[in-house]
Structure 1
Amino acid sequence: MKRKTLALALASTLGHPAAWAEEQTLPEMIVSLPRSAVVTNNPSPSAEVTQDQMREMNVINVEDSLKYSPSIFIRKRYVGDRNGIVASRTAGSLQSAWSLVYADGLLLSNLLGNSYNFPPRWNIVGSEEIENIQVLYGPFSALLPGNSAGATILINTRKPQQFEAHARVQGWSQDYKHYATDDTYRGHQEQLALGARVNGSLSWSFLFNHLDTHSQPINFATAAIPAANNGAGTPVTGGVPYTSPTNVPSMMFGATSLDHSVQDTMKIRLAYDFTPDTRAALTYAYWQNDSFSDTRTYLRDAAGQPIWSGSVNIDNKNYTVSTSALAPSDSNTQNQLLGLSLDSRLSPDWSVELSASDYSTPRDITRTPTTAVAGGLGQPGSAGGAGTITFGDESGWKTLDARAIWKPGQGRKNHTVTFGYHYDRYTYSSAKYAASSWTDDSSIGASPVSTTMGDTRTDAVFAQDAWKLDPRLTLTLGWRTERWQAFNGFISGYAPIASRDDTYHSPKASLTWRAAGDWLIRGSVARAYRMPTVTELFQTEKIGVVTQISDPNLNPEKILATDLTAEHALEGGNLRLSLFDQHTDNFLTSQLNLTTNVNRVQNIGRTRITGAEAAYEAVDVLVPGLDINGSLTYTDSEILSDPGNPALVGKKVPRIPDWRASVFASYRFDEHWTGSLGLLYSGLQFGNLDNSDTNHNDTGSLSKYTTADVKLGYRFSKLIRASFGIDNLTNESYFIGPHPFPKRTYQAELRVDY
């Protein structure tokens, strides 16, 4: 913990862990903290999560490690959720393309789209192998694309120096009672991480993870209550009346998306030190997921038999429950990542960093029934029958980054110049087929009923100079030029789509002043462009009950971001205060109309997001053994213009809460016992562009919420530790969109560290 205290003080003094790890001659114990190869001399506000902190949290999936980071919200709806996208102080909870996630310099962000369907591939990393996680806020580094406008998350895994082994077994249980659902959902996970160094030069690490979990309902089948009485339809009971987010009286027929997911991850990483200054690493990771999304009907006829579809009558009101409303689905995916990295210090003045990655999906299949059992007396698809099968096997992305870092020699060491080249290519392909048997891939027709596909490519060059004007004043100037292309676009049933080729320029500037009294003051300003993703351009198709409408003529988001940050080193800790502002022209949003189930992507003019953030972290607060970190963020957002719909001017930007707060405290009682408490708060936010969703307490809404998590751990020896934790201790009921988040969940784990 003394090492951590010193690191915090140095980070506060110099602005960011990357800066002091690169520019200062430090004691050996500090150098052990890894520096990300993605960003050097980053002029952004930052936060960090260490492995020691992670072990005091209730961490099952990797993204759980970030739940108390300032202004960060991960849309994780249940254990094993594949759609855990990142929201931040300037990015809403559906803007997945406004964040970047890297692991050891390899991109995990799925920038094929900008919605819940395109989350980072967290599964490629195991929590047991992580050394630390750094979070950078805003697009202030020229080394990063405009997708960093929200947050950039840098995961650094351990570099083994000798043989080590880490094993963990976990189990959890959630009693979920809401609407007409009253059930218990459980799961378990086993993880093994091994590593060693061989003959001083070669090191290897291996990860295996197996997860088997069941979720609570993630959605519900609903309809608005008709205005007039109508005696038509089969009389049924069990429907649940509720009020929609826009205050429309509505009826609920059943629960959907009860996910049973089985996931397996295997990864091997080989690293070789050619010399003390030159190192290469090869990473191969494989992740597969088998998921069955089940449904439950609430409706019963006069004989007590369940009703799944058809014309029904509830309280003398007639409803039509479609076949798809309570239909299950089945999906199977296989994902693999191949990555290569190289870094070398060529001389005291020069070093280079190279990284390349290829993320592919050898298998991506989703199956859904389209036929109902006669009379609505059986679950759609339960007796087999016709359906649709969708293949997305050819989707993926490739990246390449080459960077050189130049620190001029004697007499000119006040410059650190970084320049380089970036390449990425994203390929999307989706083909939906009609099938005579929805569970049999061989029963599909000869031709797809719908096809969408397309590619985007970016070639970028960048340069950044961190110039020490004097020992206390550093000016960082950066420039990024990007050539962006969109091509191979195809949507079945539409005319051929023309290719696009555009170039954009993004200047950056930051001034850092190390003031007296251990204060650091930094002002940053940046232009950035967030390019439309391939699915925002080309994915027009029906996905389940939702019709997705894209637009191949979308403009990129043009972002102007500013930040003023003050950091102060305190005894045992660090305080950061930030003011931020972000204006976005051609703001891209995907607005779902719940009445028509049409999801349309569009540019809406200009938005503004302005706010303030305070973050504090310290060890041994008041008493030895008590560590605390906390944050408070206030955000004011506004739609400034929308030529297509002037009535939206003055409305709040969707999915940006006015307040966010987090507190995490851990305490070491003695050499055996530890305990922790975490608190999270999220304030008022809206999901609709017109802010018409004023009911925040039912499905479809965006709720205010306050949750508490606790954990108690016992160390039997240096090797073995057991713990018990509870998430959502107070059993808070809250929604993010249509999705109810977990109720009180009990967790237990046993871990061995060698």
Structure 2
Amino acid sequence: MKKITFTHTTKQGHPRRMSTSLRPIASAVLACLAGGTMAQGLDSAEAADTHTVIVTGAGQTSSVMNSPATIETVTAKELSDTTNVMNVEDALKYFPSILVRKRYNGDTNEPVTSRTTGVNASARTLIFADGVLLSTLVNNNNGNGSPQWFMVSPEEIDSIDVMYGPFSAAYAGNSYGAVVQINTRMPKQFEATAKLNLSTQSFDLYNTSKSFKSGELNATIGNRQGAFSWFLSANHQDSFSQPITFGTVTQSTKAATAALPVINGATSDYNRTGGALQVISAGNLNHTVQDTAKVKLAYDFSPQTHLSYALGFWQNSANSQASTYLNSANGAPYYGAASGNVNIGGYSYSASTIAGQFSSNNTQQEHWMQSLELDSKNNGAWDWNAVVSNVRYATDLTRSSTGLYPTVMTSGAGRIADASGTGWTTVDARATYRPDGNQTSHVITFGIHGDQFKLVSPTYNTTDWLNGDKGTLYTNSLGKTQTSAIWLQDEWRINPSLLATVGGRYEQWKALDGYNYAIASSGTGFPVNQPTVTHHGFSPKATLAWKANDLWQISSSVGRALRFPTVGELYQNVQTGTTYTQANPYLKPEDVTSAEFAFERKTRESRVRVSLFGELVSDALISQTSTITGYATPVSFTQNIDKTRQRGIEIVTEKDNAFIQGLQLTGSLTFVDAVILANSSYVPTIAGATSVGKHTPYVPDWRATLVATYRPDAKWAYTLAGRYSGRQFATVDNTDTNPGTYQGFQSFFVADARVNYHYNRQWTIAAGIDNLNNEKYYLFHPFPQRTAYAEVKYTY
């Protein structure tokens, strides 16, 4: 069994909670506690036998393909003992430097952050489930570029591996943040499971004070009969979210006249740049009902050759509404009006501006996933593997209201966004050659790759947003990207203690069939057929790993990565006030040079890893404010930023039987110095502002975790965990100086707890609490407050 190394990529806190001065202390305490206890036992002369973290060379046990880089792993058993898992992405909660931006159970917009990438950069991480790409590389954001996590149910998990950095030639440049591989299980004999998972969140912020509940039911069944094995899983989830957005209006400076109607209920606050505002509503109160079903089939032609097929289906029915904080003098709820002004706190506000803060939307989605894999492992001169996968949006409709509340809740005009037809196909084939069988000093691996990503995203006007047909076209962005690649990697055993891995990847990329449509303020529609664009490049990789003795390993890695633009980045419509300006199909690929220098010391019961890492990115694709020819006011859109630099240190520690038998402590501490070095296209948002020398957006400076799990016997496991994340910025000029508010990005410290009881072989019962200390914090959106979990599982 491999051990997990726990670290935290965390979110950020709220100024009304833990004192700002205590957060760095909390981080230091986490690190010191972990480091101090894990130092015990490091003098043992025994070689580590289970703590596989830096995986190099042939014979690796990790499923991350051909990786000479740092890898962390967690198993299903460890997750059951330590982690409150409602959705599969919860399993990444305690990985070093990893954060999934999960806002509520059932959230479908959940990108992953890594050491050097943030929550708005979904295309800088690759996520796979049994070789099927779950990363939605049709965009690079925290919306329609978020991964298809829901295609995997938690009860399928066998283990999860995370690889850090673009040091394997087997993966595209999108791996420069990380590669996440979810490995699911196939049965060895007849098996069946049923699991019920419940949660309730107590949320109290502004004028919302309420509990929000979620429930999930999962069942699996499978068997192996000779050479044939099969596995079925089904998952049903019903969940309610806390407010995800808040309606706000800028603080008025115009005094109200006596004749204006008085409106009560607003709360004074400040936006993320320090401007005064009034909070008037809670928005995006989501109710989601989701179902996942999957079948996996496998056949063994021989003990060495296997064929497998998987088919998955996911559906989501969701609705989102707003709730007003405002009321009129007679106590009736107030939602604004089409015209006129009102008196809030003695100042005059436009009723139509208030009305614009209220909207609803309904979503209906049906996504399909399938894959076919042929694999041969002969333990001789040749191994080979081929896999084809496809993800397709059969239905993806979002209906949004545009009329006045509360009438629009039952009828009225709106828009229909239709992403049906979006999807991607990937093809990979690889082979491994050992000239002298398993005794060789060289292991040569090579392969080919092909993919196509297609984005379909028209939006239509409709006279009835709830049930009406599509009307006139409002906007449209279409396009495809295609990549073909060939790669080769040689693992050279120079001597018994020294292993070099050298490789490279050559890629050809094309963007084609780009199309945009937008309506100008005059009402005239403008269709644009975008040109075909191509890029190509070579990405060399190299790693040298030295096994100094039975306890120590030292490795050094360097690699180049080319991250080509996604369809959404290329063909997005840019809004300039009431006008849409056509997209820029000439964005350049991100050109990344990464390096890592890692030390690891392992004994039978302890482990310490220290990784020094650095990254230079040329032409980084980041949204920033700039000017567009012919329009006077600067607007925000994705651009190439000349150069950014990220460098830092990651410390991971682990100790079994710390202080007492059965107590396991794991912890991590990450520091990143992320800076914009050059940005020739920047336009100041305020007088005197600059982006050069400022912190790269969305990358926290500090992160830390500590997880303590006590197993007094084989039945019980008690876990207490802490997660910390430091300050981050959302703007290239770091002008968002007030993070403790809606749309701000805060530091935060969160404690979690879990108790897991294996009653017998069939029954397992667990209970836990996430955010035990009830930290109230924002990562743009307000994140979950104290949430209690209860689960019961039956295994046949």
Question: Structure 1 length as normaliser, TM-score?
Answer: 0.93
Q: Provide Cα deviations, 1:129-148, integer angstroms capped at 9, x if missing partner.
A: 21110100000000001111
Q: Report the residue type matching 2:589 in the other structure.
A: P
**Structure 2 CA distance for aligned equivalents of residues 197 and 103 of structure 1:** 21
Query: Which residue of structure 1 lines up, in the alignment, with residue 140 of structure 2?
Result: 114
Pick closer, same or farther for the CA change 1:387–1:597 going to 2, 3 Å: farther
Q: Is 1:96 the counterpart of 2:139 in the alignment?
A: no
Alignment of 1:175-214 (within 5 A): 175-198=202-225, 200-214=226-240
Q: Give how far 1:10 is off.
A: 4.7
Query: Which residue of structure 1 lines up, in the alignment, with residue 723 of structure 2?
Result: 680
Q: Give how far 1:632 is off.
A: 0.5
Query: Which residue of structure 1 lines up, in the alignment, with residue 672 of structure 2?
Result: 635
Q: Report the residue type matching 2:146 in the other structure.
A: P
**Structure 2 CA distance for aligned equivalents of residues 154 and 351 of structure 1:** 20
Alignment of 1:458-607 (within 5 A): 458-492=483-517, 493-540=526-573, 550-591=583-624, 599-607=636-644
Q: Is 1:15 the counterpart of 2:48 in the alignment?
A: no
Query: Which residue of structure 2 lines up, in the alignment, with residue 454 of structure 1?
Result: 479
Q: Give how far 1:316 is off.
A: 2.6
Pick closer, same or farther for the CA change 1:411–1:148 going to 2, 3 Å: closer
- Pick which of 150-159 and 305-314 moved more: 305-314
Pick closer, same or farther for the CA change 1:119–1:233 going to 2, 3 Å: farther
Pick closer, same or farther for the CA change 1:645–1:400 going to 2, 3 Å: same
Query: Which residue of structure 2 lines up, in the alignment, with residue 617 of structure 1?
Result: 654
Preserved contact between residue 455 and residue 486 of structure 1 (Cα < 8 Å): yes
Q: Look up the SS of the partner of 1:605 in the other structure.
A: strand
Q: Give how far 1:603 is off.
A: 1.0
Pick closer, same or farther for the CA change 1:410–1:528 going to 2, 3 Å: closer
Of 374, 387, 396, the match for 1:342: 374
Of 148, 152, 155, the match for 1:128: 155
Q: Provide Cα deviations, 1:287-345, integer angstroms capped at 9, x if missing partner.
A: 01111011101111111111112343212322333544211111111101010111113
Pick closer, same or farther for the CA change 1:98–1:546 going to 2, 3 Å: farther
Preserved contact between residue 13 and residue 514 of structure 1 (Cα < 8 Å): no
Q: Look up the SS of the partner of 1:170 in the other structure.
A: strand
Of 257, 264, 267, the match for 2:284: 257
Query: Which residue of structure 2 lines up, in the alignment, with residue 749 of structure 1?
Result: 791
Q: Report the residue type matching 2:487 in the other structure.
A: F
Of 348, 351, 368, the match for 1:318: 348
Q: Give how far 1:608 is off.
A: 0.3
Q: Give how far 1:628 is off.
A: 2.2
- Pick which of 640-649 and 201-210 moved more: 640-649
**Structure 1 CA distance for aligned equivalents of residues 452 and 111 of structure 2:** 21
Q: Report the residue type matching 1:123 in the other structure.
A: F
**Structure 2 CA distance for aligned equivalents of residues 317 and 490 of structure 1:** 46
Q: Report the residue type matching 1:205 in the other structure.
A: F
Pick closer, same or farther for the CA change 1:505–1:519 going to 2, 3 Å: same
Pick closer, same or farther for the CA change 1:678–1:250 going to 2, 3 Å: same
Of 73, 76, 86, the match for 1:51: 76
- Pick which of 401-410 and 207-216 moved more: 401-410
**Structure 2 CA distance for aligned equivalents of residues 498 and 545 of structure 1:** 26
Q: Look up the SS of the partner of 1:236 in the other structure.
A: coil
**Structure 2 CA distance for aligned equivalents of residues 19 and 515 of structure 1:** 16
Pick closer, same or farther for the CA change 1:505–1:135 going to 2, 3 Å: same
Q: Give how far 1:240 is off.
A: 1.1
Pick closer, same or farther for the CA change 1:278–1:318 going to 2, 3 Å: same
Preserved contact between residue 280 and residue 343 of structure 1 (Cα < 8 Å): yes
Q: Is 1:661 the counterpart of 2:704 in the alignment?
A: yes
**Structure 2 CA distance for aligned equivalents of residues 346 and 543 of structure 1:** 60
Pick closer, same or farther for the CA change 1:158–1:13 going to 2, 3 Å: closer
Preserved contact between residue 74 and residue 161 of structure 2 (Cα < 8 Å): yes
**Structure 1 CA distance for aligned equivalents of residues 582 and 202 of structure 2:** 38
**Structure 1 CA distance for aligned equivalents of residues 579 and 590 of structure 2:** 25
Q: Provide Cα deviations, 1:64-98, integer angstroms capped at 9, x if missing partner.
A: 11111000011001111111110011101111011
Q: Give how far 1:619 is off.
A: 2.9
Q: Give how far 1:7 is off.
A: 13
Higher relative contact order (CA 8 A, sep 6+): 2
Q: How many residues are treated as equivalent by the alignment?
A: 729
Of 419, 437, 459, the match for 1:392: 419
Q: Look up the SS of the partner of 1:238 in the other structure.
A: coil
Structure 1 segments of 4+ aligned residues over 6 angstroms from their partners: 1-8, 541-549
Preserved contact between residue 14 and residue 514 of structure 1 (Cα < 8 Å): no
Query: Which residue of structure 1 lines up, in the alignment, with residue 687 of structure 2?
Result: none
Query: Which residue of structure 1 lines up, in the alignment, with residue 775 of structure 2?
Result: 732
Of 294, 299, 318, the match for 1:291: 318
Preserved contact between residue 623 and residue 637 of structure 2 (Cα < 8 Å): yes
Q: Give how far 1:604 is off.
A: 1.3
Q: Give how far 1:233 is off.
A: 5.3
Q: Report the residue type matching 2:682 in the other structure.
A: N
Q: Give how far 1:684 is off.
A: 1.3
Pick closer, same or farther for the CA change 1:597–1:677 going to 2, 3 Å: farther
Preserved contact between residue 397 and residue 425 of structure 1 (Cα < 8 Å): yes
Q: Report the residue type matching 1:92 in the other structure.
A: G
Pick closer, same or farther for the CA change 1:484–1:252 going to 2, 3 Å: same
Q: Provide Cα deviations, 1:115-160, integer angstroms capped at 9, x if missing partner.
A: 0112111111111121110100000000001111111101111121
Q: Provide Cα deviations, 1:143-182, integer angstroms capped at 9, x if missing partner.
A: 0011111111011111211111221101111111101111
Query: Which residue of structure 1 lines up, in the alignment, with residue 266 of structure 2?
Result: 239
Pick closer, same or farther for the CA change 1:550–1:709 going to 2, 3 Å: farther
Query: Which residue of structure 2 lines up, in the alignment, with residue 28 of structure 1?
Result: none
Pick closer, same or farther for the CA change 1:380–1:84 going to 2, 3 Å: farther
Preserved contact between residue 111 and residue 533 of structure 1 (Cα < 8 Å): yes
**Structure 1 CA distance for aligned equivalents of residues 388 and 634 of structure 2:** 40
Query: Which residue of structure 2 lines up, in the alignment, with residue 375 of structure 1?
Result: none
Q: Provide Cα deviations, 1:634-658, integer angstroms capped at 9, x if missing partner.
A: 1111100011128211000011111
Query: Which residue of structure 2 lines up, in the alignment, with residue 25 of structure 1?
Result: none
Q: Give how far 1:39 is off.
A: 1.0
**Structure 1 CA distance for aligned equivalents of residues 645 and 444 of structure 2:** 32
**Structure 1 CA distance for aligned equivalents of residues 407 and 483 of structure 2:** 44
Q: Is 1:650 the counterpart of 2:693 in the alignment?
A: yes
**Structure 2 CA distance for aligned equivalents of residues 433 and 581 of structure 1:** 45
Pick closer, same or farther for the CA change 1:410–1:674 going to 2, 3 Å: closer
- Which residues of structure 1 form unaligned runs of 5+? 23-32, 373-377
Q: Give how far 1:425 is off.
A: 0.4
CA RMSD of aligned residues (A): 2.4
Preserved contact between residue 13 and residue 518 of structure 1 (Cα < 8 Å): no
Question: Structure 2 length as normaliser, TM-score?
Answer: 0.88
Preserved contact between residue 723 and residue 750 of structure 1 (Cα < 8 Å): yes
Preserved contact between residue 374 and residue 386 of structure 2 (Cα < 8 Å): yes
**Structure 2 CA distance for aligned equivalents of residues 557 and 3 of structure 1:** 34
- Which residues of structure 2 form unaligned runs of 5+? 6-44, 518-525, 627-632, 684-689
Preserved contact between residue 767 and residue 789 of structure 2 (Cα < 8 Å): yes
Pick closer, same or farther for the CA change 1:349–1:517 going to 2, 3 Å: closer
Pick closer, same or farther for the CA change 1:303–1:548 going to 2, 3 Å: farther
Preserved contact between residue 483 and residue 501 of structure 1 (Cα < 8 Å): yes
Pick closer, same or farther for the CA change 1:155–1:48 going to 2, 3 Å: same
- Pick which of 229-238 and 118-127 moved more: 229-238
**Structure 2 CA distance for aligned equivalents of residues 165 and 202 of structure 1:** 17
Q: Give how far 1:543 is off.
A: 13
The share of aligned pairs that are identical, in percent, is: 37
Pick closer, same or farther for the CA change 1:222–1:448 going to 2, 3 Å: same
Preserved contact between residue 535 and residue 550 of structure 1 (Cα < 8 Å): no
Q: Give how far 1:46 is off.
A: 1.4
